[in-house]
Amino acid sequence: MNGRSTPRGPWSTGGGLPSFTPAPTDLLVLVGTVFVTFSLRFFASTAILPALLELTPSVWRGFLWQLATYPFIGIGGASFWILLELLILYWFGRDVYYRLGRQGFWTMLLVSAVIAGAVAEVTYLLMGLISGDPVPAAFAIMQGQRMLLAIFIAAFATLNRNATILLFFVLPIQARWFLWLEVLFAFIAFLGSHDFPGFLGITTAVFVTWGSLSAGGPGRMLREWRLRAERWRLQQELDRERKRRKMKVLDGGRGRSDAGGSSESGGGDGGPWIH
């Protein structure tokens, strides 16, 4: 992580980025992209572009790019609310960018978004197979800037867990609690939309972001997951082989000992034996 500064959130106490800190070009491009794609939705000739980039069940028909592009499109109706969302997105994103640097920032964002999108798509498929009916309003609560906000706020809460943020500009809350608040807000959105794939997607993004940054970065987190999966696979193969050969584990010299210190098992100080 980049230790150039110790940032705090947009409505936080305990210090912050210096006022002269330049706006990251990457973040400005990101925010501008979200606003442009948001605007394209309102013109018949250009609405097809954001429609092709948002997350849909078409992933299962080969539109795999949607797993990576859906966070970068603007979602919502024509109102000033989009400007507030983009402002909050910039505030949290700037702090996260300067803590992680360019490579760490984009790696964290893409890893969290792709894993969250994959979980949502698998959930959608399983629900359809179980119920036989399409899931209504699938992925609605995790599209576009909503996913970016979830990831950036989760990253900020992980990197600055003891910072105090003024929730709704009034209520002081330590940043670490925003991880659970995001899950709570996603659940409330699920109650209104019944978008279970979207709810799982948001929840996955929050905890993948937290897990990757707590582990020292997305790359290290993925390596740890791979090693754990490999260890689990090897353990399963060993268990199957032991059952097939009817092997049993014997105490390798750490069993009961007589008064003279000799072991009843006849072994030395070695580990367990497989017979």
The domain limits of the chain are 12-214
pTM over 0.75: no
Q: What rounded mean pLDDT belongs to the chain?
A: 79
Q: Are 121 and 60 in contact (CB under 8 A)?
A: yes
Q: Which of 136-140, 199-203, 235-239, 246-250 has the highest mean pLDDT?
A: 199-203
For residue 115, what pLDDT is reported? 95
70-123 pLDDT, tens digit each: 999 999 888 888 998 999 999 899 989 999 989 999 999 999 999 999 999 999
3-state DSSP: the chain helix, strand, coil percent, rounded to 5? 60, 5, 35
pLDDT at 259 over 60: no
Query: Using CA atoms, how far apart are residues 24 and 27, in angstroms rounded to an integer?
Result: 5
Q: Which CATH architecture has domain 12-214?
A: Up-down Bundle (1.20)
**Mean pLDDT of the region 145-150:** 94
Query: Residue 273 forms beta bridges with which residues?
Result: 250
**Mean pLDDT of the region 220-226:** 63
Q: 160: which 2 tokens? A: 């600055």
Query: Using CA atoms, how far apart are residues 268 and 40, in angstroms rounded to an integer?
Result: 76
Our CA dihedral for 109, 214, 217, 96, rounded to 10 degrees, sits at 50
Query: Using CA atoms, how far apart are residues 146 and 88, in angstroms rounded to an integer?
Result: 11
Torsion sign (Cα): 70, 76, 80, 81: negative
